[in-house]
Amino acid sequence: MLLAIDIGNTQTVIGLFRSPGTGTGTGPDNAPDRHGNLASAAETDLVDHWRIATYAERTSDEHALVVQEFLGFHGFSFDDDIDGIAISSVVPRSTAAFREMTEKYFGFRPVVIEPGVRTGMPILTENPREVGADRIANAVAALDLFGGPAIVIDFGTATTYDALSAKGEYLGGVIAPGVEISMDALYTRAAALRRVELVAPRSIIGRTTIESIQAGAIFGFAGQVDGICQRLTEELGAVTVVATGGLAALIAPHTSSIQRVEPWLTLHGLRLVFARNTVG
């Protein structure tokens, strides 16, 4: 079985797959639903998934204990059932800790998305080394599931937009402040405002301070998505717009541009990259 580990600045997502996977090749017509509300190829063989806070101080031994507990929920053996680990990370210290955990407790090296790893995707930015590993995993997965051209939106600590060509090339993208850190900034800098639950309000016209903040967050970021996607589409032509990340399902219904929601897109990309570096 394969562990796919996506280490973000705020949270780390761990997925457990039954097999490495070699790609679906389904192209852009694999799902009829506008917001991807069905079991897609990204979930094929995904046994379970877990989300933990990213804490750079956590040691390899502590990570091993957490993974062991997760695997135990399904009755899997920490020692016998895992034969591969794939990692994407934007936190170098956590990358090192998970790499050490893999070598120490599993006895093999993980596949880490970094320079020299085969992704099967040309990266046409001026400095490919600057592109985040999670963005590469997302792009690989989106091309496998939907083909190109495509726009991938990841609602994480930052909101990222990645442009993919019809030839399957990574062209570059856009980075904007994420929803939650924007809300944190509003709460920190405005003395009269407080933290609110991120849910859609009853109306765009907030009748309370809480609803007004919610309207600004939900509809404001939905407007950002539509505006940026419109500009990207003017350069790329007709595209598939796919969203992922913890808040994708919250923002997507209020946009006119997002066509697919794939919560486990990054994990699927990790699975594909692992296969391309180990199979055959």
Active site residue 61: no
* pLDDT(31) > 50: no
- Render pLDDT for 58-96 as a digit per residue (tens, 0 to 9): 999 999 999 999 998 878 887 788 999 999 999 999 999
CATH homologous superfamily for 2-278? ATPase, nucleotide binding domain (3.30.420.40)
- Residue 126 backbone phi and psi in degrees, to 5: -65, -35
Query: Are 186 and 193 in contact, with CB atoms under 8 Å apart?
Result: yes
pLDDT of residue 120: 94
Q: Which residues pair with 159 in a beta bridge?
A: 155, 176
Q: Is the pLDDT of residue 36 over 50?
A: no
pLDDT beyond 90 at 25: no
Q: What is the pLDDT of residues 135-187, one digit of tens each?
A: 999 999 999 999 999 999 999 889 999 999 999 999 999 999 999 888 888 88
What sign does the dihedral 28-35-222-257 (CA atoms) show?
Answer: positive
Q: How many other β-carbons are positioned within 10 Å of the β-carbon of residue 101? A: 23
Pick from 68, 43, 27, 91: nearest CA to 271? 43
Q: Which of 33, 48, 80, 134 is catalytic?
A: 134
pLDDT at 43: 63
Residue 28: the pLDDT is 45
State residue 75's pLDDT score.
83
Residue 42 pLDDT grade (very low, low, confident, very high; cuts 50, 70, 90)? low
Neighbouring C-beta atoms of residue 187, cutoff 10 Å: 14
Answer yes or no: is pLDDT of 239 > 70.
yes
124 pLDDT tier (thresholds 50, 70, 90) = very high
pLDDT at 280 over 70: no
